[in-house]
Amino acid sequence: MHGLGNDFVILDARARPFDLPAPAIAAMGDRHRGVGFDQLITIAPATDADITLLFHNSDGTEAGACGNGTRCAASLILAETGKPRITIRTAHGLLAAETLPDGMVRVDMGKPRLEWDAVPLARAMDTLHVPLAAEGVSDAACCSMGNPHATFFVESLDALDIARIGPLLEHDPLLPQRGNIGFAQVLAPDHIRLTVWERGAGLTLACGSGACATVVNAVRRGLTNRAVTITMPGGDLMLEWRADDHVLMAGPVATSFTGEFPVG
């Protein structure tokens, strides 16, 4: 499945639980020799929700959250159950998802974490102004949406060599668990253009949790309204950081194909 080109392999482990080792996940994630994906998502049983979702990056490492992937997996369960709304257990907490009248799927991604040790950063500092820097960018705003995000607000995305500076910033010592690096150009108080270098996946066409982090950081900086359309290379997501501190994200989902892959 994919959400705006942010693509996923989704496995259903509710009836028969299994645990794939990191090398098997990386083999499946190889776009030349495997299937290829930004994240692998496993649907597992839950005792306090409709499902549990587990996330892995294409390099086999675990991911704490995945916004577009959550919307994709939620769409399957919403269609399967016929429920108007479902709950999802993730490492980031209990999330809610629903199908909107226009067919888009909206997920309540919960509350952002703004404390330095929740991001996490390597030492105590103001998360609104973090001294991360690379050629063409400096002064990041950081938060956690279940995974660490650093957002740089820039005058022009087209002037940046994101493929070069993205991995340098991902591995900066200030980000001990590495980071998802967002490069955001504010076009209007309700419109942001965004490109994200994802931890463990690289450049993606869209990043849901990155879009959530971007609207949070933009509002904290006084750059935008709380309701924003975020345009990424793959298309648009609709974001709202509500007054109750919850971040809502809505957008389209699509199924590319179903199939089998030998992991042995």
Q: What kind and span of H or E run contains 138?
A: strand 137-144
The count of structural domains within the chain is 2
Phi (first) and psi of residue 138, to 5 degrees: -160, 165
- Region of 178 please: left (phi>0), alpha (psi -120 to 50) or beta: left
Residues 150 and 213 grouped into a single domain: yes
Residues 106 and 156 grouped into a single domain: no
Is 225 annotated for ligand binding?
no
The residue segments making up the domain with residue 238 are 130-250
Residues 74 and 160 grouped into a single domain: no
Is the residue at 178 inside a domain? yes
In the chain the first and final C-alpha atoms are separated, in Å, by 23
Three-state DSSP string of 175-239? CCCCCEEEEEEEEECCEEEEEEEECCCEECCCCHHHHHHHHHHHHHCCCCCCEEEEEECCEEEEE
Phi (first) and psi of residue 63, to 5 degrees: -120, 140
Give the residue numbers marked as catalytic. Answer: 66, 207
Is 68 annotated for ligand binding?
yes
Model confidence at 17, pLDDT cuts 50, 70, 90, reads confident
Is 57 annotated for ligand binding?
yes
Is the residue at 123 inside a domain? no
Mean pLDDT for the stretch of residues 72-87: 97
Nearest Cα residue to 61 out of 43, 44, 39, 45 = 39
Is the residue at 121 inside a domain? no
Q: What is the pLDDT of residues 139-192, one digit of tens each?
A: 999 999 999 999 999 999 999 999 999 999 999 999 999 999 999 999 999 999
Task: State whether the Cα torsion 90-71-164-159 is positive or negative.
Answer: negative
Residues 153 and 218 grouped into a single domain: yes
Q: Is 169 helix (H, G, I), strand (E, B) or coil?
A: helix
Is 251 annotated for ligand binding?
no
Q: What is the pLDDT of residues 184-234, one digit of tens each?
A: 999 999 999 999 999 988 999 999 999 999 999 999 999 999 999 999 999
* One-letter amino acid of 24: A
Q: Is the pLDDT of residue 264 over 70?
A: no
CATH number at residue 134: 3.10.310.10
Is the residue at 263 inside a domain? no
